[in-house]
Amino acid sequence: MNAQGLYIGERSASALAEEFGTPLYVYDCASIARRVQQLREHMPPGLSLHYAIKANPMPELVRFLGERVDGMDVASAGELQTALDNGMAGADISFAGPGKRDEELALAIGTGVTLSVESPGELQRIADIGQRLGMQPRIALRINPAFRLKAAGMHMGGAASPFGIDEEQAPGVLQQVATLPVRLRGLHIYAGSQNLSAPHLVEAQNAIFELAFRLAGYFPDGIEWLNIGGGFGIPYFPGEQALDIAPIADNLDKRMAESESRLPGCEIVLELGRYLVGEAGVYLCRIIDRKVSRGRVYLVTDGGMHHHLAASGNFGQVLRKNFPLRVANHVDNPEKETVTVVGPLCTPLDLLGDRVELPKAGPGDLIAILQSGAYGYSASPLEFLSHPRPEQVLL
Amino acid sequence: MNAQGLYIGERSASALAEEFGTPLYVYDCASIARRVQQLREHMPPGLSLHYAIKANPMPELVRFLGERVDGMDVASAGELQTALDNGMAGADISFAGPGKRDEELALAIGTGVTLSVESPGELQRIADIGQRLGMQPRIALRINPAFRLKAAGMHMGGAASPFGIDEEQAPGVLQQVATLPVRLRGLHIYAGSQNLSAPHLVEAQNAIFELAFRLAGYFPDGIEWLNIGGGFGIPYFPGEQALDIAPIADNLDKRMAESESRLPGCEIVLELGRYLVGEAGVYLCRIIDRKVSRGRVYLVTDGGMHHHLAASGNFGQVLRKNFPLRVANHVDNPEKETVTVVGPLCTPLDLLGDRVELPKAGPGDLIAILQSGAYGYSASPLEFLSHPRPEQVLL
């Protein structure tokens, strides 16, 4: 950012809006590469880094990340196809999701993907489909742990859940596995998402390793693959601080040293989605109208909740908070105004910024929503009210 | 519904799922036609009935309704194109929305659509574009009233709003209109949505007519068109009762008689979206897995929030409530079970029914979500997690 306005990578937001039109999602490769580099520098050298495609399945972005990570996690046959089409080998892909259809399981088995098994029923279906295909499915048991990640954006674990097999049921299911024609590779244990507290993440990761150590005895050939999930958050709202990964890296170093004896030969996988791409994305829209209603100033833009559901506060948020907003073409205008930024839809839900102080702006100016690289475009009701889709550009 | 399971129109849900696959949206023409018929029977004969396409823009459904209503309301150029492509004349279409782009205004002016003007700035743009096109735009002023519809699902009016021109500002804007090369047709006054109380709707409609009578003096040639909005709700949740339209019809009869002298020659438009199509739609999905986690039974289906955001509780709901759910292939099974119905996505947001009592069901059985004809398919993040789209069938 400078006096000329917001820059995304080497390009000014104004020039990008001019070239590609608005509304527009811009993803900055350099930012993604820096994030991967930072993780590689801090994390233990043996740790595998996976990208969870669900955060952003744009093909060019998946290809870019595919050259920089050790594997990917997919959540549907569509995501699996995106990973394969963009250079990932099936052997480096894992597939989790509580409702995998038979044809999805068949595709995954046929391409050598590691399937995270979510229930005894799914385990049986995987074995049956493998037999029909004449192939041995590669599986990991996904565990619903008895603990939970404290202060996570979304909790996984510590309660009843549709995800994975309850920790208490795992020994019984592992005995069932031994009777089936599948290759049991290991465990997938995921405790929660969008967490900004290193101590909480350390505590959860320790619990994950402890659980894996306890369950190792049920693996006749040992655990060869352990996916410890991710859950690394990014700051969205005022008062939130970027996650400090140094203590997490230090702790993982210790756990991995311990694993060398307790889980010999086991690949440890850290699976990150939002953390890799969320901060690299900006959503740009243009102000169409400025109006005043009963003392409140509204900036009406050509972008809205149909493109960015999370920014409108309708993506699981209990209390709506404003994403970080900027007036992209003159971020430093000293004249400020408290405005409400809305989209073009005929619904009060189409709210991008509720009474936020911004440099004074009007029709033709650009609004940027930062932290929009994850769960933006693909997680939005793009066809709601039949507006055109935003472009997506990877810089 | 009978012992064989749920019927939609003349077809059983099982046969529909077999023919079209799951997940599937089914819309029942006969139900829509009955609803229109019922309105025609009750409402005053001179009242115009409009369909608000935003509720469900499926082209075949828009065509079906186009033969039965007097006009349509659109909220984007895309919806306008859908209306025109499916037999509506531009003269019978009105276009509202706070952020209409210049190219949308041009299309609307060129096709003779009535534009609901949402702000003084938009009024000036409309006049300028009309001059460039050499055409006289047809406009109505959309008013943000000082009153509000009590107990509405969404309030419009009574506060600051991005929608329309504040009632207090209307006289000034109407004076501005007189200086511009536009054809001022009338007013659009909308007070709120999804209301199940006839007394509240009657009260709001009375206030709308009073406001129109007050503003009529500012129309040199009189008001020829008055859109009183809609706001008729449908029951979604336990304890909600269907709207009793008889008292509304009685009251409208009186208001329209009064209008004959106070707004001579004025067309009165009732604009309904959800009320026309909401109850005609069913979302069908198939159970993939049944699992028990820490005492809770989960039914995991092939459908979820990516197809039906509203049923997941992430479409503006402050408190999530279950949409009406059925086990479509054996609705009358006497053996009941309290279950949580979820979709295939890797997120706790993908919840279709939270601890709901249903006939006992398992893999292969069908789950139906009723009241799904409005704000379903088109209002959902269809690409989230890259699953296939549901089919849509109009019976």
pLDDT value at residue B148: 75
Q: Are A108 and A95 within 8 A, CB to CB?
A: yes
Residue burial A78-113, b: 16+ Cβ < 10 Å; e: rest: bbbebbbebebebebbbbbbbbbbeebbbbbbebeb
pLDDT value for A155: 67
Q: Residue A4: what pLDDT?
A: 65
Backbone φ, ψ for residue A236 (5° rounding):
-110, -35
- Cross-chain residue pair B144–A387, CB shorter than 8 Å: no
User: What confidence score (pLDDT) does residue B1 get?
Assistant: 42
Residue with tokens 């999530």: B320
Distance set, CA B147 to CA B144, B206, B272 (Å): 9, 11, 20
Tell me the C-alpha distance between B72 and A329, whole Å. 38
CB-CB under 8 Å, A98 with B298: yes
* Closest among B100, B271, B310 to B193, alpha carbons compared: B271
Neighboring chain A residues of B86 at a CB cutoff of 8 Å: none
Q: Among residues A291, A246, A195, which one has the least CA distance to residue A42?
A: A246
Q: Which two tokens stand for residue A175?
A: 């005995």
How many residues are present in chain B? 395
Residue A156, pLDDT score: 67
A144, A195, A252, A313, A340 from A151: Cα distances, Å: 17, 7, 20, 19, 30
Partners of residue A145 on adjacent β-strands: none
Is 50 exceeded by the pLDDT of residue A1? no
Which chain A residues have a beta carbon less than 8 Å from that of B304?
Answer: 99
- List CB contacts (< 8 A) between A191 and chain B: none
Q: How far apart are CA B66 and CA B320, in angstroms?
A: 34
Å from B261 to nearest chain A CA?
32
Q: Which of A144, A166, A344 sits opposite B97 (nearest CB)?
A: A344
- Bridge-based pairing state of the strands A366-369 and B183-189: unpaired
Can you tell me the distance from the alpha carbon of B2 to that of A375, in angstroms, rounded to the nearest whole number?
A: 42
Q: Are B293 and A161 an interchain contact pair (Cβ–Cβ within 8 Å)?
A: yes
Minimum-distance CB partner of A75 among B160, B348, B385: B385
Interchain CB distance below 8 Å, A159 and B101: no
- Does residue A372 have a pLDDT over 70? yes
| Best B293, B297, B340 residue to mutate vs chain A (most A CBs within 10 Å) | B293
Which one of A100, A119, A381 has the shortest CB-CB distance to B380?
A381
CA distance B74 to chain A (A): 8
Q: In the block, which residue shows the tokens 């993440």?
A: A201
List the beta bridge partners of residue B48: B269
Q: Which residues of B touch A162 (CB under 8 A)?
A: 291, 293, 298, 300, 340, 342
List the single best residue of B74, B118, B227, B291 to mutate versus A (max A Cβ within 10 A): B291
Q: Is the dihedral of CA A8, A11, A15, A16 positive or negative?
A: negative
Compute the distance between CA of residue A191 and CA of residue A146 in angstroms, rounded to an integer: 9
**Distance (Å, whole) CA B224 – CA B264:** 8
Q: Yes or no: say if B328 and B284 are a contact pair by the CB < 8 Å rule.
A: yes
List the single range of A83-97, A302-316, B299-313, B315-329 with lowest mean pLDDT: B315-329
Interface A-B, measured as beta-carbon pairs within 8 A, has a size of 209
Contacts of A82 in chain B (CB under 8 A): 386
Note whether B344 contacts A101, CB cutoff 8 Å.
yes
Residue A253 has pLDDT above 80, yes or no: yes
- Check whether the bond before B23 is cis (ω within 30° of 0): yes
Nearest chain B residue to A116 by CA distance is B346
DSSP letters of B171-233? HHHHHHHHTSS-EEEEEEE--EESB--HHHHHHHHHHHHHHHHHHGGG-TT---EEE----B-
**Residue A316 CB: number of other CB atoms within 10 A?**
18
Q: Which helix (H) or strand (E) holds B289?
A: strand B281-293
Mutate to test the interface with B, among A94, A271, A293, A389 (most CBs of B within 10 A): A293
In single-letter form, the type of residue at position A341 comes to V
- By Cβ distance, the residue of A82, A160, A347 closest to B386 is A82
Rounded Cα–Cα distance for residues A217 and B119 (Å): 70
Q: Is the pLDDT of residue A271 over 80?
A: yes
Prediction ipTM score: 0.95
How do the pLDDT tens digits run along chain B, 395 residues long? Answer: 445 689 999 999 999 999 999 999 999 999 999 999 999 999 999 999 999 999 999 999 999 999 999 999 999 999 999 999 999 999 999 999 999 999 999 999 999 999 999 999 999 999 999 999 999 999 999 999 998 777 667 666 678 999 999 999 999 999 999 999 999 999 999 988 899 999 999 999 999 999 999 999 999 889 999 999 999 999 999 999 999 999 999 999 999 999 999 999 999 999 999 999 999 999 999 999 999 999 999 999 999 999 999 999 998 887 889 999 999 998 778 899 999 999 999 999 999 999 999 999 999 999 999 999 999 999 999 999 999 999 999 99
Give the nearest partner residue to A379 out of B290, B342, B384, using CB atoms: B384
Q: What span, in angstroms and rounded, lies between the C-alpha atoms of B128 and B120?
A: 13
Which chain A positions have a beta carbon within 8 Å of B346's beta carbon?
54, 75, 96-98, 163
In this prediction, residue B147 carries a pLDDT of 84
CB atoms within 10 A of CB B318: 6
Calculate helix-pair angle for B246-262, B198-215, nearest 10 degrees: 10
Cβ contacts of B345 within 8 Å, gap of 6 or more:
A75, A97, A99, B304, B305, B306, B384, B385, B387
> Residue A249 pLDDT > 90, yes or no?
yes
Question: Using one digit for the tens of pLDDT, what is the confidence trace for A140-152?
Answer: 999 999 987 776 6
List pLDDT tens digits, range A142-196. Answer: 999 998 777 667 666 678 999 999 999 999 999 999 999 999 999 999 988 899 9
Contact yes or no for B381 and A100 at CB 8 A: no
| Candidates A291, A308, A340, A382, partner chain B, best to mutate (most B CBs within 10 A) | A291
- B66 close to B86: Cβ distance less than 8 angstroms: yes
- Cα angle for residues A274, A275, A279 (degrees, 5° grid): 85
Structure tokens at B94: 């009105």
Q: What is the pLDDT of residue B130?
A: 98
Name the CA radius of gyration of chain A, rounded: 23
Facing residue for B99 by CB, picked from A97, A302, A315? A302
Contact (Cβ atoms closer than 8 angstroms) between residue B231 and residue B194:
yes
What is the distance in angstroms between the Cα of A362 and the nearest Cα belonging to chain B?
Answer: 11
Strand partners, A323: none
d(CA A261, CA B178): 85
Q: Which residues of A touch B79 (CB under 8 A)?
A: 385-386
**Closest chain B residue by Cα to residue A58:** B386
Average pLDDT rounded to a whole number, residues A110-118? 98
Tokens of A242: 């970027």
Name the percent of chain A lying above pLDDT 70: 97
Question: What is the pLDDT averaged over residues A41-49?
Answer: 97
CA distance A115 to chain B (A): 14
Question: Of B222, B225, B223, B123, which is closest to residue B182 (Cα–Cα)?
Answer: B123
Q: What is the pLDDT of residue A226?
A: 98
What is the amino acid identity at position B136? Q
* Chain A residues with CB-CB distance to B103 below 8 A: none
**Cα nearest neighbour of A298 on chain B:** B162
Q: Which two tokens stand for residue B366?
A: 């069908």
- Among candidates A120, A160, A168 on the partner chain, residue whose Cβ is nearest the Cβ of B296: A160
Residue A18 pLDDT greater than 80, yes or no? yes
